Amino acid sequence: AIQMTQSPSSLSASVGDRVTITCRASQAIRNDLDWYQQKPGKAPKLLIYAASSLQSGVPSRFSGSGSGTDFTLTISSLQPEDFATYYCLQDYNYPRTFGQGTKVEIK
Amino acid sequence: EVQLVESGGGLVQPEGSLRLSCAASGFSLTRYWMSWVRQAPGKELEWVANIRQDGSEKYYVDSVKGRFFISRDNARNSLYLQMYNLRGEDTAVYYCAREDTHYDSSGANKYHLDYWGQGTLVTVSS
């Protein structure tokens, strides 16, 4: 199975900060990568699919980039509602695999 | 409005069985692949299984192969996960999720999980 490694595991940031989260695949996965946001006690929410396509209804401060093995999720200006855990998911092959998550906390 | 509502979770003894259901509304299940994803308490998300629109293809994570079986009833707009020989490590919140389609550069179908249910908790303990 493809291993997905996110970094950092957690970060502290302030409202208005630019935040970047990285996801690295153990083998090349083209651009078959999605990003999800999860708040405590809630279901995950799709933010980005195909590495860089913004899901309908998601604010434009979220963006994704990368292909092959290295991917990034960027939040251009962190808002209070963005404090959550973020996961990457590869859908290049089966079994699909998630990263271990990055928790974004308030500084 | 698209809605997915899971049910069937609960407390079950090790080696026991449980059947989860996911009721879909606001869209036609026949058009979509569907997935189950789980999350152990305090842990990361884990994709469990998915099923093609007509049920002809199914995929599983290795840890559940031969113990979990995904199925669907499009007429009832419902998705199921039958779980046998449950273990402590199967304790988790189980989510069903819809797979929407996009196309890669070669025109091949690719999928992303665009709608999720609220989850149902399965606890395996004696």
Helix or strand (DSSP H, E) at B51: strand B45-51
pLDDT tens digits for range B55-86: 999 999 999 999 999 999 999 999 999 999 99
- Percent of chain B at pLDDT > 90 equals 91
Cβ pair A50:B104 closer than 8 A: yes
Query: Closest approach of chain A CAs to the CA of B55, in angstroms?
Result: 17
Contact at 8 Å (CB) between B5 and B101? no
Cα B94 to chain centroid, rounded: 7
* Residues of chain A contacting B94 with CB distance shorter than 8 Å: none
Nearest CA in chain A to B62: A95
Cβ pair A43:B117 closer than 8 A: yes
Contact at 8 Å (CB) between B8 and B120? yes
Residue in A5, A86, A96 to test binding to B, most B beta-carbons within 10 Å: A96
From first to last of its 107 residues, chain A has per-residue pLDDT tens of 999 999 999 999 999 999 999 999 999 999 999 999 999 999 999 999 999 999 999 999 999 999 999 999 999 999 999 999 999 999 999 999 999 999 999 88
pLDDT band at B36 (very low <50, low <70, confident <90, very high): very high
Contact at 8 Å (CB) between B94 and B119? yes
* Residues of chain B contacting A50 with CB distance shorter than 8 Å: 102, 104, 110, 112
Query: Closest approach of chain B CAs to the CA of A21, in angstroms?
Result: 16
In whole angstroms, give the CA distance from residue B89 to residue B40.
Answer: 8
For residue B104, give the nearest of A30, A97, A98 by CB distance: A30
pLDDT band at B119 (very low <50, low <70, confident <90, very high): very high
For residue A44, give the nearest of B110, B111, B116 by CB distance: B116
pLDDT at residue number B71: 98
Across the range B104-114, mean pLDDT stands at 85
Sheet of strand A62-67: strand arrangement: A4-7, A19-25, A70-75, A62-67
Within 10 angstroms of residue B58's Cβ, the number of other Cβ atoms is 13
Cβ pair B112:A46 closer than 8 A: yes
Among chain B, residues having any CB pair with chain A shorter than 8 Å are 35, 37, 44-47, 50, 59-62, 95, 102, 104, 110-114, 116-119
